[in-house]
Homo-oligomer: A and B are copies of this chain.
């Protein structure tokens, strides 16, 4: 049967046991300022004996703080499952939170639920602040959270304008770097597997690629779209190869999609990089375990998440945080694939 939850000890019981009043017990427990050594000792002992832990709900009610922050990932389960990008995000945020007493609440929301359930949750005062990652064009989070006055920091530039704080990497520059690397390598016909166009990362990487090709006087018409998953990348790559058999280079907007594309190329008998050079994006662990290892653009996921967490902490502490976005510079890592 359901565990018989022995009622948790209350502050009242601690006070009684220590022979002091509730308020004294409370003061002794929080900070211990303005309380006599004897009282302090008595309370400490009582806390230990009873295994007392303050009830966070009751405390929240009066302090109006929850001591927890939410990481919102508006993606279906499958993606959160398979994409190491999110592991990096969770970790970066976690490393910042470790220094504090804040707890991390993970909110994975189906895109369809974001507008209703997730917003309701976040506006309910359940968390002191929010970090949003993997934001889509139609998500209402930016406007809703700003309107509700919930301190929020985005990882990745959101579409909505207004007073939105965010941390990002220059994806346009990243796309450009990838394309320029392929141009420099003497590739003649460069295609791309782009990311979702309802996400700024997808849009920007494509734009960068496109601009670089234009600068080089090359056609930027070989484009297929994936969804940042390995399977999606494979599908997009085969469409692309079917439509443009003359391709000798591919910029794929994420390592995971690139891994899928490599499989398709191998099945098609195209050697990488001899026949087709491939550049990925992200530089997550997967980039080194593919065959051949991926030349890729570094996406500083952990650093971005850590920075976002830091900004949020500043915000919560009431410090002045400039509204200007923090934008990291991308970097190219050359491995065997291009």
The size of the chain A interface, using a CB distance under 8 A, is 66
Any B CB within 8 A of the CB of A5: yes
Any B CB within 8 A of the CB of A273: no
Any B CB within 8 A of the CB of A132: no
Instruction: Check A4 against B149 for contact (C-beta < 8 Å).
Output: yes
Contacts of A126 in B (CB 8 A): 56-57, 103
Any B CB within 8 A of the CB of A26: no
Instruction: Check A95 against B123 for contact (C-beta < 8 Å).
Output: no
Contacts of A148 in B (CB 8 A): 5-6, 8, 51
CA distance A320 to B6 in the complex (A): 18
Any B CB within 8 A of the CB of A242: no
Q: Pick the residue among B78, B285, B302, B318 that contacts A1 (CB under 8 A).
A: B318
Any B CB within 8 A of the CB of A328: no
Which residue of chain B lies nearest to A320 when distances are taken between CB atoms in the complex?
Answer: B1
Any B CB within 8 A of the CB of A326: no
Any B CB within 8 A of the CB of A77: yes
Q: Pick the residue among B2, B106, B321 that contacts A316 (CB under 8 A).
A: B2
Contacts of A151 in B (CB 8 A): 2-3, 5
Which A residues have a C-beta under 8 Å from some C-beta of B?
1-6, 8, 51, 53-58, 60-61, 66, 68, 77-78, 80-82, 84, 86-88, 90-91, 94-95, 98, 103-108, 110, 120-121, 123-126, 146-151, 230, 259, 285-286, 289-291, 302, 315-321
